[in-house]
Amino acid sequence: MRGRKNKEILYNLYDKETLRKELESRKEDRFTLSFYQYAKIENPELFRDYLFIKLSEVGVLGRIYVAHEGINAQISVPKENYQGFIDRIEEVDFLRNLRMNLAVEHDPYSFLKLKIKVRAKIVADGLDDETFDVTKKGIHVNAQKFNELTDDPNTIVVDMRNHYESEIGHFKNAITPDVDTFRDALNVVEKELEDQKDKNIVMYCTGGIRCEKASAYYKHKGFKNVYQLEGGIIEYARQVKNQNLENKFVGANFVFDDRLAEQISDEVISECHQCGKPWPKHSNCVNDACHLLFIQCDECKSKNNGCCSEECQEFIQLPAEEQKAFKSGKYFGMQVFKKGRQSNFIPAYQAWKKDKNG
């Protein structure tokens, strides 16, 4: 496997099309999974290099973040190499006996390359960890206990994910902050619940990692009864199925790989952003200069060439030289990319066209 390294990142050099063809030729079954661990890592760059070598030996693909505070990974592993993957992970003391969040739905193409990045934090939370004890976390609860707590009228269920995640699926009666980032969610939830600090606050996220930090933060802020769903939505869905429990999650779970969603219940609670038809998952605008994450049904995808707007359809028809000129100009650099909101490409492209045409 060819790789490139700089100060922050180690990744495979081949393009996605080449990598997908290579995966297709293998015809192998793969597990999609995630894991995380907070731990003190003295040299994240060295640890990143070690992981890349070890995980490449057993064909691991995916996205991994490493920081001084720990590791956060979303990956896929060949089924036949799963034990080899576990053996290599457990060579690291703080990675032994980890809970692996196996996906509800496995897709051999959920990831196409292995990419390991060094970050300041494994989840961008904007918090100063020196101001509170991050080890004083909320009480972990399993699916059965979560259901019991949510039946209690003294309980408030809080979704610690972003708006585009909860749009396609969430727990019944949960507070779903209209935010773009986890950092924003922390502040919005605190303000919304500031006069309810004696209630049971039960938080959840995709795999549990955001609640690890959020629960400690809210306890520091004076919330007395803080709980978090262990393993997040992914583990909840597994336990509900295996133990024949009531499923209180409606819709689909947003996932951070090429699948973009896995269905947890039969309900479809989200709609195509272009025609309003019920639709359970997101797409990315095929215009690479936009790449907006939005909900688009198959009919609208065909009708609009996979684009989110007329401007994007027009842009992808431009000669390559003109597309390159826009991407290298000042208007493209002014864009602020967001997920699930109106495309910021449109005003930038309109301004560029006006400037170009005099």
Q: What is the pLDDT of residue 66?
A: 97
147-164 per-position pLDDT tens digit:
999 999 999 999 999 999
- Angle at 6 (CA atoms; ends 3, 9), nearest 5 degrees: 70
Could you tell me if 182 and 10 are in contact, meaning their C-beta atoms sit under 8 angstroms apart?
no
Could you tell me if 231 and 247 are in contact, meaning their C-beta atoms sit under 8 angstroms apart?
no
Tokens of 115: 């990419």
**Distance between CA atoms of 34 and 123, rounded to whole angstroms?**
14
Q: Is the pLDDT of residue 288 over 70?
A: yes
pLDDT category of residue 27 using cuts at 50, 70 and 90: confident
Q: What is the pLDDT of residue 108?
A: 82
Helix (H, G, I), strand (E, B) or coil at 286: coil
Q: What is the pLDDT of residue 72?
A: 96
126-141 per-position pLDDT tens digit:
998 888 888 899 999 9
Those residues whose C-beta lies under 8 Å from the C-beta of residue 184, and which sit 6 or more positions away, are: 177
**Distance between CA atoms of 229 and 226, rounded to whole angstroms?**
10
Q: For residue 97, is it left (φ>0), alpha (ψ between -120 and 50) or beta? A: left
Q: Tell me where in the chain the CATH 3.30.70.100 domain(s) lie.
A: 3-118
Q: Point out which residues pair with 253 in neighbouring strands.
A: 262
Tokens of 108: 């051999």
Residue 307 is a catalytic residue:
no
Q: Tell me where in the chain the CATH 3.40.250.10 domain(s) lie.
A: 133-243
Catalytic residue among 205, 272, 290, 312: 205
Those residues whose C-beta lies under 8 Å from the C-beta of residue 221, and which sit 6 or more positions away, are: 190
Tokens of 229: 């769903």
Q: What is the pLDDT of residue 196?
A: 95
90-105 per-position pLDDT tens digit:
999 999 999 999 988 7
Q: What is the pLDDT of residue 1?
A: 41
Could you tell me if 283 and 304 are in contact, meaning their C-beta atoms sit under 8 angstroms apart?
no
Helical H segments across the chain, by residue range: 16-26, 44-56, 82-89, 143-151, 163-166, 182-192, 209-220, 232-243, 298-303, 310-316, 320-327, 330-333, 345-356
Those residues whose C-beta lies under 8 Å from the C-beta of residue 278, and which sit 6 or more positions away, are: 268, 270, 271, 272
Tokens of 304: 């609009």
Give the mean pLDDT of 18-36.
83
Could you tell me if 272 and 173 are in contact, meaning their C-beta atoms sit under 8 angstroms apart?
no
60-83 per-position pLDDT tens digit:
999 999 999 999 999 999 999 999
Question: Amino acid identity of 276?
Answer: G
The distance in angstroms from the start CA to the end CA of the chain is 49
Class of domain 3-118: alpha beta
CATH 3.40.50.9100 fits 133-243, yes or no: no
213-263 per-position pLDDT tens digit:
999 999 999 999 999 999 999 999 999 999 999 999 999 999 988 889 999
Q: What is the pLDDT of residue 2?
A: 46
pLDDT category of residue 15 using cuts at 50, 70 and 90: low
**One-character DSSP codes across 240-272:** HHHHT----EEEEEE-SSTT-EEE-SS----B-
